Each structure stands twice: as C-alpha cells, then as structure tokens.
C-alpha cells in the first residue's frame, strides 16, 4: 500500500504563485504530452505553448496576470487552477518537491497577521 507524505501547504487556497515563475521548463516528453492533449503536431505545440527561455531552453509561454504581472498561459486567471492539469509538465507535478512550500508559509503568515484569509501576497523574496 502506498502512503502519501503529509504536506504543509494547500494549493487550493493559494493564488498559484509558482505558476508565475518565468522559467517553467518543457522537455520533449512534456511537449509530446501537450501535443497529444491539444491534438496538434509537435511543431504546433512548440510554437503555440512554449518559447525559448533566457538560457536557450524551452519554457511555457506566459500571459498577463492581475496579481503577479505574468503567469503561465495555462493558469485560469479567475479560479487560479491549472487548465491542463493532466497534461502539465513534469516540473509542475514535482513542485515544490518538499513537504513545505515557502510561498505558502509566507502567505499563511501574512493572512494571519492581517486577519484576511483572502489576502494575496504579490511579491515574495525567498
Ligand atoms: S505556490 Fe505553493 S501552495 Fe501555491 S500553488 Fe504553488 S505549490 Fe501550491
Ligand atoms: S502548466 Fe499548469 S501547473 Fe504548470 S505552470 Fe502552467 S498553470 Fe501552473
């Protein structure tokens, strides 16, 4: 029987800060998954959904965002949920990779301090 480790963050209460990272890597396997999901060929998926990052790597394209200025093009701006959850890249599945999320710790502390459960921290400097 597999048991999931308990985690100390709740993505359902978060505005998806991690989806605002500029460098969300897309590897070949991720690209194939995206192409399958949208029923397009690899070239079309590469052009439509990715661009070259600063280091020459493939990253997800962004869109404007009211909270963070810019977020992954696949984040729903209202619900703050991933619109391609089952087709999202590996890096999104793996994040944050530990039982805590630094942004969520910060957000929770601010929400407690400000007595505002809906407060959105738009900047965070880990
Ligand atoms: S920033 Fe942390 S808590 Fe928020 S969606 Fe990303 S992983 Fe989840
Ligand atoms: S693919 Fe989904 S989980 Fe990954 S950055 Fe974009 S919106 Fe967030």
Encode pLDDT of 73-99 as tens digits. Answer: 999 999 999 999 999 999 999 999 999
Total count of domains within the chain: 1
Q: Is residue 40 part of a domain?
A: yes
* Separation of CA 8 and ligand 2 centre (Å): 20
Q: Which of 12, 15, 23, 24 to mutate to test the pocket of ligand 2 (most atoms within 8 A of CB)?
A: 24
23: tokens are 């460098």
Q: Is the CB of 91 under 6 A from ligand 2?
A: no
Q: Is residue 91 part of a domain?
A: yes
More confident residue, 67 or 125: 67
Q: Is the CB of 45 under 6 A from ligand 2?
A: no
Contact yes or no for 74/88 (Cβ under 8 A):
yes
Cα–Cα distance for residue pair 39/47, rounded to 1 Å: 14
Cα–Cα distance for residue pair 56/19, rounded to 1 Å: 20
pLDDT tens-digit map of 5-44? 899 999 999 999 999 999 999 999 999 999 999 999 999 9
Q: Is residue 6 part of a domain?
A: no
Indicate whether 3 pLDDT > 90: no
Q: Is residue 1 part of a domain?
A: no
Cα–Cα distance for residue pair 51/33, rounded to 1 Å: 16
Indicate whether 125 pLDDT > 90: no
Domain residues for the domain of 99 are 11-113
Q: Is residue 5 part of a domain?
A: no
Residues composing the chain:
126
26: tokens are 């897309």
The predicted structure's pLDDT at residue 1: 53
């Amino acid at each position: 029987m597999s048991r999931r480790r308990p985690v100390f963050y709740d993505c359902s209460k978060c505005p998806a800060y991690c989806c605002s990272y500029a460098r969300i890597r897309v590897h070949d396997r991720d690209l194939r998954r995206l192409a399958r999901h949208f029923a397009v060929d690899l070239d079309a998926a590469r052009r439509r959904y990715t661009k070259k990052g600063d280091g020459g790597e493939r990253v997800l394209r962004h869109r404007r965002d009211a909270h963070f200025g810019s977020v992954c093009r696949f984040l729903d701006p209202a619900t703050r949920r991933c619109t391609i959850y089952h087709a999202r890249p590996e890096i999104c599945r793996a994040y944050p990779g530990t039982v805590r999320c630094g942004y969520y710790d910060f957000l929770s502390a601010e929400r407690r301090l400000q007595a505002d459960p809906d407060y959105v921290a738009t900047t965070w400097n880990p």
